[in-house]
Amino acid sequence: MAARGIGELACDLMANDDIPESWRPALEPALTSAEARKLGGWLRAEEGAGKVVYPPRGSRLTALALTPLEAVRVVILGQDPYHGPGQAHGLAFSVQDGVKIPPSLVNIYKELESDLGLPRPPHGNLTRWAEQGVLLLNNTLTVEAGKAGSHAGRGWDAITDACVAAVAERGEPAVFILWGSHARKKASRVLALGKSAQHLVLTSPHPSPLSAHNGFFGSAPFSQANAFLQAHGRGEVDWALCGGARLPSEHLHPRATLRMSSTRASTGSFGNSTTSRLSAVRSRRRRSASSSAISKLCRRSDV
C-alpha cells in the first residue's frame, strides 16, 4: 500500500523513474509531500512547454538504482546535473561514455592518480563506483539544457536531504565526502550526520578549476575513505575505472593510517572538523614512466 501511495502521489515527478525498493521507506515522506507534488507539476509543465530537461526521464534516479541504501559505503555530493547534451545520466560528476570529461572530473582523476597511483581513465563514466556502494548524489536531480542551476530551489533538496539522512541514520559506518561549500551546507541540514560519531566526514574545496588548487589537490579523499572503511570492517572501494589496470604496488602511496580523535563534528560545522580525523602517510614518489605505461594499457582495455 505504501509503495502504491508513493507512485500515485509522485507520478508527475517520478514518471518513468522507478523508486528503488530499498529507498522507498526513507523517501516516502518527502515524495508524498505537497512540495514534491508541486515540483512534479512544475517539471511536467516545463517539459510540456518544450524545454529540454537533463537527465532524461528514466535516468533521474540512477544513483539510487545502482547503489541500494544498505550497500552505501561512501557518499559524494554534487550540486546539479551537467546541462550539456548527452552528459548527465543520473550520477553526480559522471558523464556517459563517449562524452568529453568535464573539468571538475579531470581534477578528480588527477587527485585519484596522486592519491592512489591509479592512472586517469579515458572516459568519465563513474558507474563502477556506484556499483561498489559509492552514492554519487546531486542535490538537484534535474536541470534545464544550457542553464546551470536552473532547477535549484524547486523542491529537490528535501528529497535528496532524505537520502543523505537515510545513510546517516543507519548503523553502518560510512564516509561522506563533501567538496565545496554547497556540499557542506547540505550536510549541515542532516542532523543525524552532525550528531553521529560513527561516520567519517571529509571536507575540501570543490574540484572545479576555480578552487581545486585551494586545497582539493592533496586532500587524499580516496585513501582516507578506504582506510576508514577497512578499519570498520566494510572493505575498501576499488577506485580503478579502466579495466582494472593499476600501477605496480611499489609505485602506490602507502595506505593511509588511521588516527581516531575524540573530537566530534557539531551540527553545521562540517567545514571546520570531521567526525573522525585521519592522518594520511603519503609518499611523493616520481612515477611518471609507470603511470604513462599503465595509462596506455588503460586506453587499450577500454577500446
Candidate list 12, 17, 18, 80, residue with the active-site label: 80
The answer to whether the CB of 136 falls within 8 A of the CB of 92 is yes
Q: Quick one: cell of 251?
A: 609505485
> Distance between CA 175 and CA 5 in Å, rounded?
32
**CB count in 10 Å sphere of residue 81:** 26
DSSP assignment string, 216-260: TTT--HHHHHHHHHHHTTS-------STT----GGGSPPPPEE--
Longest dimension (CA), the chain: 60
Backbone angles phi and psi of 77, in degrees to 5 = -100, 130
35 Ramachandran zone, left/alpha/beta (phi>0; psi -120 to 50):
alpha
Q: Is 12 one of the annotated active-site residues of the chain?
A: no
* Catalytic residue set: 80
